[in-house]
């Protein structure tokens, strides 16, 4: 079994899942735990999302306790008081997800740091997620929003819509240890934030993307992009993800890199690389290579520099050409900024 989780969800009036919260998802759970849960909930073979009722929780808790899994038994017992739909997700193998509960479990596994970006198959996930109004009263189906808004007004409440999106913000589901986020709405569920990461107010981290930590993020980490340890993404900078026209190229930022303010990359960077502020490097951009004496050596497409270490990429202020030379100094981040105890 690849993963198992007990969850509390939200459904629309048609019974479709809108979102699911898994308080304690497990990766590679013990076989005895899975077998105990399967016996109680009558689970079919393969990946399965099983809806169950609060009255099933006590029996499930006893089975898990008898199998020696006190923490999951305690969680199951606590679910007995739920007034919301309950689901148990059994994920035997990593295949393209088939249900919203399966998608949400994979997003939880990423944000809980149990799996790193690109470690799970998310093919086709967008078609399984509904566009949802995320409100102060929880997730609401867009088609049901007018009715819910009127109901709230008639009851003397104001229904506030924070955003309309397929993804919720990560911190409504999990807050990883040792991080800081200036604006939590800018980090989606499914982001992976390593310990010591700071995401400033204008920083953004998409799903299936993130940081090894420590690191300072004041720019955009697009879907599929992973940023290495000790790297700094300056204000307004961006990384081209697989959803941003980058095709199947996996963009990553190595350890000890600096992407300057309003700069950007469309190629993966190795370790200890620096991109000058305001310079956007796309794969086809022509780059002039310089030696240690700043003499021209060659001109190549930026894609030929992909993944190489110790590069300084800059734009010549006199002739406008993009230049590359060896960068011998790594970025030194202030350790005090990344101590999130």
C-alpha of 207 from chain center: 3
Number of Cβ within a 10 Å radius of residue 228: 21
What is the rounded distance in angstroms from the CA atom of residue 122 to the CA atom of residue 18?
A: 17
User: pLDDT for 18-68, tens place per residue?
Assistant: 999 999 999 999 999 999 999 999 999 999 999 999 999 999 999 999 999
Cβ atoms 34, 125 nearer than 8 A:
no
What is the rounded distance in angstroms from the CA atom of residue 53 to the CA atom of residue 59?
A: 11
Q: How far is CA 29 from CA 36, 37, 88, 114, 298, in A?
A: 12, 11, 13, 12, 54
Q: Which of 19, 102, 212, 218 is catalytic?
A: 218
Enumerate the domain spans of the chain: 3-124, 133-165, 171-338
Q: With 80 as the cut, is the pLDDT of residue 255 above it?
A: yes
Q: With 60 as the cut, is the pLDDT of residue 328 above it?
A: no
What share of the chain has pLDDT > 90, as a percent? 89
Is 218 a catalytic site residue? yes
Model pLDDT, residue 336: 46
Model pLDDT, residue 47: 96
Model pLDDT, residue 241: 81
Number of Cβ within a 10 Å radius of residue 328: 9
> Looking at the domain covering 133-165, what would its CATH class be?
alpha beta
Model pLDDT, residue 335: 54
* pLDDT tier at 295, thresholds 50, 70, 90: confident
Asked if the 3-124 domain carries CATH number 3.30.70.2010, the reply is: yes
Which residues are annotated as part of the binding site for Mg(2+)? 202
Q: With 80 as the cut, is the pLDDT of residue 246 above it?
A: no
Q: With 80 as the cut, is the pLDDT of residue 330 above it?
A: no
What is the rounded distance in angstroms from the CA atom of residue 100 to the CA atom of residue 49?
A: 9
Model pLDDT, residue 247: 53
Model's pTM, two decimal places? 0.92
Which residues are annotated as part of the binding site? 202, 220, 235, 238, 261, 276-277, 284, 314-317
Q: How far is CA 135 from CA 83, 164, 252, in A?
A: 19, 9, 34
Domain 171-338 adopts which CATH fold? Answer: UDP N-Acetylglucosamine Acyltransferase; domain 1 (2.160.10)
Is the C-alpha dihedral spanning 105, 107, 112, 115 positive or negative?
Answer: positive
Model pLDDT, residue 248: 64
């Amino acid at each position: 079994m690849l993963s198992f989780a007990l969850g509390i969800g939200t459904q629309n009036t048609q019974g479709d899942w809108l979102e699911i919260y898994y308080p304690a998802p497990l990766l590679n759970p013990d076989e005895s735990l899975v077998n105990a849960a399967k016996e109680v909930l009558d689970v079919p073979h393969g990946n399965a999302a099983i809806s169950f009722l609060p009255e099933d929780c006590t029996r499930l808790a006893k089975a898990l306790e008898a199998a020696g899994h006190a923490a999951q038994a305690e969680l199951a017992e606590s679910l007995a008081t739920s007034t919301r739909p309950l689901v148990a997700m059994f994920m035997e193998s990593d295949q393209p997800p088939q249900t919203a509960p399966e998608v949400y479990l994979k997003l939880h596994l990423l944000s809980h740091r149990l799996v790193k970006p690109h470690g799970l198959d998310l093919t086709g996930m967008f078609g399984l997620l509904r566009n949802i109004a995320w409100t102060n009263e929880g997730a609401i189906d867009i088609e049901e929003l007018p009715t819910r808004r009127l109901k709230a007004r008639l009851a003397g409440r104001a229904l506030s819509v924070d955003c309309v999106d397929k993804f919720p913000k990560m911190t409504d589901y999990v807050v990883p240890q040792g991080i800081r986020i200036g604006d939590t709405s800018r980090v989606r569920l499914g982001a992976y934030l390593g310990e010591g990461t700071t995401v400033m107010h204008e920083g953004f981290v998409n799903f299936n993307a993130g940081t090894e930590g420590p690191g300072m993020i004041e720019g955009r980490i697009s879907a599929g992009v992973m940023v290495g340890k000790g790297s700094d993404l300056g204000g307004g900078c961006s990384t081209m993800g697989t959803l941003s026209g980058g095709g199947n190229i996996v963009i990553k930022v190595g350890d000890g890199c600096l992407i300057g303010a309003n700069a950007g990359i469309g190629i993966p960077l190795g370790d200890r690389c620096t991109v000058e502020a305001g310079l956007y490097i796309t794969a086809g951009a022509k780059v002039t290579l310089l030696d240690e004496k700043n003499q021209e050596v060659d001109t190549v497409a930026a894609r030929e520099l992909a993944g190489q270490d110790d590069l300084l990429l800059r734009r010549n202020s006199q002739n406008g050409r993009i230049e590359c030379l060896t960068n011998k100094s790594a970025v030194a981040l202030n350790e005090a900024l990344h101590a999130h105890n």
